[in-house]
């Protein structure tokens, strides 16, 4: 279990992020066309997982836009993963000009959040994800993780981008 804060108030996740050097857990997520997506769909590519509670919050929107800005200059797939419905994610991306980051929803399963140790278990955001970044190499090994300690703050973009 990880301890993070929401505006200074302590909350907890169900576990820890995957270990650096270990195999990335598989996932079952949904894209904006309602297709199932798994880790294997991005085989042979570096992957940056920008895990956010909801794109309908200012910090989540900012991080998604910033990773989108870097996506063109990086040889990696940038995924934003949230509890939002695919329709809302599509509307956000279209409205904000986010066209390089791939939005994926936990609509059909919370197993992603559980397997990656980011499921918030208590407090007002219980049931959705903490803010985190996981970078996975082309061989599906975890090469970088960050659990953002204060959910209302942005991740360390430079540290994450150094690993892709």
Catalytic residue flag (residue 60): yes
- The phi and psi torsions of 126 (rounded to 5 degrees) equal -55, 135
Do residues 127 and 7 lie in contact, with contact meaning Cβ atoms separated by under 8 Å? no
Cβ neighbours for 57, distance < 8 A, ≥ 6 positions apart: none
Q: Which of 60, 89, 106, 113 is catalytic?
A: 60
Do residues 11 and 5 lie in contact, with contact meaning Cβ atoms separated by under 8 Å? yes
Which active-site residues does the annotation give? Answer: 60
């Amino acid at each position: 279990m990880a301890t993070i804060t929401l505006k200074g108030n302590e909350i907890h996740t169900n576990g820890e992020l995957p270990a650096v050097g270990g195999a990335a857990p598989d996932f079952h997520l949904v894209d904006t066309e309602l297709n199932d997506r798994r880790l294997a769909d991005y085989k042979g590519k570096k992957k940056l997982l920008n895990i956010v509670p909801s794109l309908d919050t200012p910090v989540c929107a900012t991080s998604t836009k910033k990773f989108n800005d870097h996506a063109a200059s990086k040889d990696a797939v940038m995924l934003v993963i949230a509890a939002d419905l695919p329709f809302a994610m599509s509307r956000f991306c279209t409205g904000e000009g986010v066209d390089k980051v791939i939005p994926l929803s936990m609509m059909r399963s919370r197993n992603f959040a559980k397997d990656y140790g980011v499921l918030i278990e208590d407090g007002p955001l219980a049931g959705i994800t903490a803010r985190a970044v996981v970078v996975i190499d082309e061989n599906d090994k975890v090469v970088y993780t960050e659990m953002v300690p204060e959910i209302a703050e942005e991740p360390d973009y430079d540290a994450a981008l150094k690993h892709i």
